[in-house]
Amino acid sequence: MASAEMDHSQLRGGVMLLTLLLSPMRYLTPAASRLLSPVNRELLRQNFADWTADSAEAPRVAKAGDKTAAATNGESLLARYASNMTEQARKGTLDPVLCRDEEIDLMIDILCRRRKNNPIVVGEAGVGKSALIEGLALRIVDGQVPEKLCNSELMTLDLGALQAGAAVKGEFEKRFKGIMAEVAQSATPIILFIDEAHTLIGAGNQQGGLDISNLLKPALARGELKTIAATTWSEYKKYFEKDAALSRRFQLVKVSEPSAEEATVIMRGLRTIYEKAHGVLIDDEALQASAVLSDRYLSGRQLPDKAIDVLDTAAARVAINLTSAPRQVSALKTQLHQQAMEIQMLEREQRLNLSQPDERLSVLQQQRAEIEQQLADLNASWQTQQQLVQQIIALRAELLTQEENATEEQAINLAALGAELEQLQQHQTLVSPHVDKHQIAAVIAEWTGVPLNRLSQSELSVVTELPTYLGEQIKGQETAIHCLHQHLLTARADLRRPGRPMGAFLLVGPSGVGKTETVLQISELLYGGRHYLTTINMSEFQEKHTVSRLIGSPPGYVGYGEGGVLTEAIRQKPYSVVLLDEVEKAHPDVLNLFYQAFDKGELADGEGRIIDCKNVVFFLTSNLGYQTIVDHAEQPELLGELLYPELAAFFKPALLARMEVVPYLPLGKDTLQTIIHGKLKRLDNLLRQRFNAEVVIEPEVIEEILLRATRAENGARMLESIIDGALLPPVSLLLLQKMAAGTAISHIRIATEGNAFTAQVEEAL
């Protein structure tokens, strides 16, 4: 009644009383109905407005900018449900818009048409669709538009506020018709901007209401209502393309993602705003790094949105560190607290005779003393760096305010303070006077899991010296390591064809020659650890339908929406290594999945999402052609031609051409001897650490292991089998016997007797 009959915007006590009187059988008890029967219902209904004019519930006087009060005073619907973007531009609250002149010009052309003058801005989330409208508002205020648009007002419609409280059937449509009427009657031309315009389709359609898009169509076609809409490509295809009558009334304006160079220009335009917001300076290298690094490592999002987020986070972090203790201090305090609880528990147990005194308590107390010293040193370093940074900031502020009167002495002092701060921060940077590329790299590293040294220059030295690092762990495979190094160098220098992944290598050769170990070492050296390695055993994909386990089930099948093993691993760790082990055991149709991944650096999952593989190195291992490699190990230069027929019999030529074939040679006697030395050295260190004893491994042990390793095609795995199956059991038996007797061990000797391995264990005196 309040809304439909009396046109009130809020529910009042008098209306509730009138409703009770008019429907006593529905709302009142018989006793209450008899009590109110003397009241003249019709008289109250006719004079309700006059009798309640001075009520305490009467609408209050609206304050400037108070939308609630404005609603009760009958203020215009546009003022209640829309914000004036041109007014914001006049006040200077809009950010500058750069590198979008072409799209803004196209919008202006469409708006100046006689009919169907309605642009719809379509682009992926984060490319700057809303910023495009802000750019148009800035142009209108600056007078950089045709005369036809000079006096226009650009209003942003708030669909959420428009729908809020419109539960009564027809209320939402009534509000929208009122807005259209106000726009048509306005003396000043008004352009409506509707963000997330796909929500118009179906809005108000609950319980048989009219679809709002149908109200718009006649006005849009006649040019009476100039409207700018914005939506994403997925929503445009889902809603607008299916409604041809609506889509033909809009003219498409495509907004693509800017390049890293254009994003850098955009960031330069925003620098002053973010410097003012955070109170810190931002150098140009930080702006470039935010665009370039986010473009390279933050997949699934668009420039310039992701670059702005990275810069905003880095600036906030620098500003926080100027006044608050760094995170390292908080981490040490937390560690101290945890140790204090454990020490307190151990002391309590010993005091109550619940446990015997042990070394754990003394070790914890020693560790606590060391951490307390670290914390004291860290606090002292932070305070020193903070004082220097405050001096640098103050001096820079003086130079900025006195650009023309700046003295040479101020510049010299600033350089001296900078050099002193750099000297202090050689080991650890706790406070920074401005945002630089290192802070940007740190944010990217935290968000993506990419090792920080990968984003800095230190990782380049690892790439250039990769054969040296790999040669220490992988023996006898100099040719294979050289081949991998050449291709990884080219990929790291970004000289390969754009769009390809960092690498796709097919490692072929006998078992146990170092193929898998090479992949493990590369993941540690270049990617920061083995947790950046995704290993998929391809022997589990021998059926054609198992491809759904890799990329996820398609719509309509069990498991849809859960993601695939491969696609989810790459999506969560876009900078990583993928190892497809024993690839020859997979169904050939499963391998068809990798055509686009190896060529375009893209992989579509079961839900249709495109997974970015450009920062992934793919390794495939196989035993195909191992006999050819064994037979022609002395002629490695011929292996490529000799292996191709055998590989082409399994891999399709198009897929084989997308991979680099790297043959691994069988291990020679000298290489096996070197590997045995390394394995026995690790055993020596393990026994010394575990039992605190002197260890002697006689030279004949190496000869016996080498003599037993008769099958060269089994490589280093045969050595492990001999050590685990023949050498370690007698040693383990004696050690366990001594441990069971509770005796300490002083000497361990491993030797041979005849063709058997023997061990001697001496007790400590």
pLDDT tens-digit map of 724-748: 888 999 999 999 988 888 788 889 9
What value does the CA radius of gyration of the chain take, rounded to a whole number of Å? 37
For residue 573, pLDDT beyond 60 = yes
* pLDDT per position as a tens digit, 149-162: 998 999 999 888 88
pLDDT confidence of residue 63: 40
Question: Does residue 99 or residue 35 have the better pLDDT?
Answer: 99
Percent of the chain topping pLDDT 90: 29
Please say whether the beta carbons of 704 and 697 come within 8 A.
no
Please say whether the beta carbons of 746 and 760 come within 8 A.
no
Q: Cα 700 to the chain's mean position, in Å?
A: 55
CATH class of 455-663: alpha beta
Number of Cβ atoms within 10 Å of the Cβ of 638: 11
Q: How far is residue 411's CA from residue 396's CA, in Å, rounded to a whole number?
A: 9
pLDDT confidence of residue 72: 40
For residue 253, pLDDT beyond 90 = yes
Query: What residue ranges do the domains of the chain occupy?
Result: 1-58, 81-254, 260-323, 327-430, 455-663, 669-763
pLDDT confidence of residue 65: 40
For residue 110, pLDDT beyond 90 = yes
In CATH, 260-323 is 2.30.130.10: no
Task: For residue 203, name the pLDDT band (cuts at 50, 70, 90).
Answer: low
Question: Does residue 213 or residue 702 have the better pLDDT?
Answer: 702
- Specify the range with the lowest mean pLDDT, choosing from 59-63, 317-321, 446-450, 658-662: 59-63
For domain 81-254, the CATH architecture is: 3-Layer(aba) Sandwich (3.40)
* pLDDT per position as a tens digit, 593-624: 899 899 888 888 888 888 888 889 999 999 88
Q: How far is residue 148's CA from residue 162's CA, in Å, rounded to a whole number?
A: 29
For residue 274, pLDDT beyond 90 = yes
10 Å CB burial of residue 101 (0-12, 13-18, 19+) is: exposed
Strand partners, 95: none
Please say whether the beta carbons of 152 and 192 come within 8 A.
no
CATH class of 669-763: mainly alpha
The answer to whether domain 81-254 and domain 455-663 are alike in fold is: yes
Task: For residue 175, name the pLDDT band (cuts at 50, 70, 90).
Answer: confident
Task: For residue 47, name the pLDDT band (cuts at 50, 70, 90).
Answer: confident
* pLDDT per position as a tens digit, 327-349: 888 899 999 999 999 989 988 88
Please say whether the beta carbons of 97 and 131 come within 8 A.
yes
Percent of the chain topping pLDDT 70: 92
| Coil/strand/helix, residue 93 | coil
pLDDT confidence of residue 8: 67
Rounded to the nearest 10 degrees, the angle between the axes of helix 284-297 and helix 437-448 is 20
For residue 383, pLDDT beyond 80 = yes
For residue 223, pLDDT beyond 80 = no
- Range with top average pLDDT, 261-265, 529-533, 667-671: 261-265
The set of long-range contacts for 554-563, using a CB threshold of 8 Å and a minimum separation of 24, is 554/606, 555/606, 555/607, 560/606, 560/607, 561/607, 563/605, 563/606, 563/607
pTM for the model stands at: 0.68
Task: For residue 580, name the pLDDT band (cuts at 50, 70, 90).
Answer: very high
For residue 443, pLDDT beyond 60 = yes
Please say whether the beta carbons of 565 and 550 come within 8 A.
yes
Under DSSP, the state recorded for 743 is: -
For residue 207, pLDDT beyond 60 = no
pLDDT confidence of residue 459: 62
pLDDT confidence of residue 71: 41
For residue 73, pLDDT beyond 60 = no
**Mean pLDDT of all residues in the chain?**
84
Residue 59: HSE in the Cβ half-sphere, 13 Å Cα cutoff? 17
* pLDDT per position as a tens digit, 646-656: 898 888 989 99
For residue 435, pLDDT beyond 90 = yes
For residue 440, pLDDT beyond 90 = yes
Q: Is 634 left (phi over 0), alpha (psi -120 to 50) or beta?
A: alpha
pLDDT confidence of residue 153: 93
